[in-house]
């Protein structure tokens, strides 16, 4: 993604709605170029164009969530690839960092991905080195994810060494949490089919607590995050014997 596009998305996400004129003045780019950029970004589902304005995409759309802390998520995804061996089968849930990770898996040969994310399945369809198994279930058309009892039943057909998941928050008291109770329940069900739970998340999620409980600390094998992780949470994870990988950003 172009650096200019990242700057546009940052401003749009911060303000939720911003004029083309303000974008042009802030970034010192012509309004003609800004409009072309907005057309391209809208085509990718990263924002919405309105008359004279750019607005934040649906907060539940994965493309929109992916633009927040994009560079951190990209580096985390690249580090996580080193945890997968050629020929391995892994589970990946539907978070934005996990989606970037799934795309990075193209560098690993002969990998099978089991997922409840139609977004991930769609983006991996042209990658010949990756086989995708999409779990069935109730389909959320905005988040592009399957959930519910059918997803749980489908997941029971498989057993893997690792599942990669995202989170919406972590506190020492509340553990790992998620903003959506239905999706949270599905992720827990899928994770029962894996020996190791590996969390992929930017450090800004630490210190936040969301509505639904996802995992207790003892249920998580490893966390891959960025080097902005506050030392208090680094110590907390190590105290709970969670392996920690941090990427420089």
Q: Per-residue pLDDT tens for 207-232?
A: 999 999 999 999 999 999 999 999 99
Structure confidence at residue 82 (pLDDT): 95
Asked whether the predicted pLDDT for residue 153 surpasses 80, the reply is yes
Average pLDDT rounded to a whole number, residues 125-153: 92
Sign of CA dihedral 61, 44, 187, 13: negative
Sorting pLDDT into bands at 50, 70 and 90, what band is 238? very high
Q: For 180-198, how does the pLDDT look when each residue is reduced to its tens digit (9 = 90+)?
A: 899 999 999 999 999 999 9
Query: For a pLDDT cut of 70, what percent of the chain falls above it?
Result: 96
Sorting pLDDT into bands at 50, 70 and 90, what band is 16? confident
Q: Which has the higher per-residue pLDDT, 150 or 56?
A: 150
Structure confidence at residue 61 (pLDDT): 63
Q: Long-range CB contacts (< 8 A, 24+ apart) of 63-71?
A: 64/13, 65/95, 65/96, 66/96, 66/99, 66/100, 67/6, 67/9, 67/10, 67/13, 68/13, 68/96, 69/202, 69/204, 70/1, 70/6, 70/9, 71/6, 71/249
Say if residues 93 and 162 touch (Cβ distance below 8 Å): no
Structure confidence at residue 63 (pLDDT): 66
Structure confidence at residue 95 (pLDDT): 87
Residue linked to tokens 């999620």:
205
Asked whether the predicted pLDDT for residue 202 surpasses 70, the reply is yes
pTM, two decimal places:
0.81
Average pLDDT rounded to a whole number, residues 18-38: 94
CA distance 228 to 111: 31
Q: Which domains does the chain have, with CATH numbers?
A: 3-57 (1.10.10.10), 66-247 (3.40.50.1360)
């Amino acid at each position: 993604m172009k650096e200019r596009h990242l700057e546009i998305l940052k401003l749009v996400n911060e303000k939720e709605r911003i004029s083309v004129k303000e974008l042009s003045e802030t970034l010192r780019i012509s309004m003609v170029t800004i409009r072309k950029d907005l057309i391209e970004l809208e085509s990718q589902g990263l924002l919405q164009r309105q008359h004279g304005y750019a607005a934040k995409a649906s907060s539940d759309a994965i493309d929109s969530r992916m633009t927040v802390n994009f560079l951190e998520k990209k580096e985390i995804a690249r580090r996580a690839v080193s945890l997968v061996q050629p020929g391995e089968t892994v589970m990946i849930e539907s978070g934005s960092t996990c989606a970037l990770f799934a795309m990075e898996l193209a560098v690993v040969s002969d990998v099978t991905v089991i997922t409840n994310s139609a977004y991930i399945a769609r983006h991996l369809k042209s990658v010949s080195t990756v086989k995708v198994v999409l779990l069935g279930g109730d389909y959320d058309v905005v988040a592009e994810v399957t959930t519910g009892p059918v997803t749980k039943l489908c997941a029971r057909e498989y057993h893997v060494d690792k599942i990669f998941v995202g989170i919406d928050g972590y506190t020492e008291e509340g553990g790992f949490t998620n903003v959506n109770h239905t999706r949270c329940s599905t992720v827990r069900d899928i994770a029962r089919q894996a020996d190791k739970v590996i969390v992929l998340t930017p450090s800004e999620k630490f210190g936040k607590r969301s509505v639904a409980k996802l995992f207790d600390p003892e249920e998580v094998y490893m966390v891959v995050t960025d080097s902005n992780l506050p030392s208090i949470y680094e110590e907390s994870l190590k105290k709970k014997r969670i392996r920690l990988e941090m990427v420089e950003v």
